[in-house]
């Protein structure tokens, strides 16, 4: 196997990697079987040139196979990041949880976990290390402030807690 190129690395937590493996297993097993059954049924309708069920099933099959390839590549290139900071280094890193105060809008403090882009989920307060706020927070410590250009304009945040 070729050596993983650093730019191809997928930074992910152990739990995130397990989710990817579960999704891959589902696509390789159940989802492939479902689409194969749909294709078989659509073929039984005859004339494939005007068979919308067949076209739809073929499109879904292409999506599933593409997603399987994508998941396998992510899993092969996965680099596990720690869920907690090792050492006494209290700076924001991938895998750390940080509480910030939006100084610009004077909002309530918000807590985020900095994760790799494959695990980012704003609904769970998991922000990507590649996002404007996530990348600006990397390396910062409690008490430091950052200015970030976001779609809404320039915003300033203060780091309240790093764990």
Per-residue model confidence as pLDDT tens digits over 84-128: 444 446 888 888 899 999 998 888 899 999 988 888 898 999 999
Q: Are 78 and 17 in contact (CB under 8 A)?
A: yes
Residue 24's domain comprises 6-80
The pLDDT, as a whole number, for residue 146 is: 93
pTM attached to this predicted model: 0.64
Q: Are residues 63 and 14 in the same domain?
A: yes
Q: Are residues 75 and 128 in the same domain?
A: no
Model confidence at 1, pLDDT cuts 50, 70, 90, reads very low
Spatial neighbors of 107 by CB under 8 A, at least 6 apart, are 101
Strands lying side by side in the sheet with 110-115: 126-128, 110-115, 97-102, 153-162, 145-150
Residue 59 lies in a domain: yes
**Domain final residue, candidates 52, 80, 108:** 80
The pLDDT, as a whole number, for residue 143 is: 93
Residue 77 CA neighbour count, 13 Å, CB half: 18
**Domain final residue, candidates 80, 114, 139:** 80
Q: Give percent of the chain above pLDDT 90.
A: 53
Q: How many independent structural domains does the chain possess? A: 2
Is residue 74 predicted with pLDDT exceeding 50? yes
The pair phi, psi for residue 80, each rounded to 5°, is -70, 130
Q: Are residues 62 and 16 in the same domain?
A: yes
**Domain final residue, candidates 27, 51, 80:** 80
The pLDDT, as a whole number, for residue 35 is: 95
The pLDDT, as a whole number, for residue 90 is: 82
Report strand pairing: 10-12 vs 110-115. unpaired
Q: Are residues 37 and 71 in the same domain?
A: yes
Model confidence at 21, pLDDT cuts 50, 70, 90, reads very high
Q: Give percent of the chain above pLDDT 70.
A: 91
What are the distances in angstroms from CA 128 to CA 2, 46, 69? 27, 48, 23
């Amino acid at each position: 196997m070729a050596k993983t190129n650093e730019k191809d690395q997928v930074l992910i937590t152990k739990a995130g990697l397990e989710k990817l493996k579960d999704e891959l297993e589902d696509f390789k097993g159940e989802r492939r079987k479902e689409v194969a059954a749909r294709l078989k049924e659509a073929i039984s309708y005859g004339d494939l040139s005007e068979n919308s069920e067949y076209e739809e099933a073929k499109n879904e099959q292409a999506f599933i196979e593409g997603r399987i390839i994508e998941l396998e590549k992510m899993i092969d290139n996965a680099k596990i990041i720690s869920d907690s900071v090792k050492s006494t280094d209290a700076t924001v890193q991938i895998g750390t949880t940080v509480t910030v105060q939006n100084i610009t809008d004077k909002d309530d403090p918000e807590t985020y976990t900095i994760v790799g882009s494959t695990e980012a989920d704003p609904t769970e307060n998991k922000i990507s290390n590649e996002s404007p706020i996530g990348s600006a927070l990397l390396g910062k410590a409690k008490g430091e402030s950052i200015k970030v250009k976001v779609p809404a304009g320039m915003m300033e945040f203060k780091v309240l807690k790093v764990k």
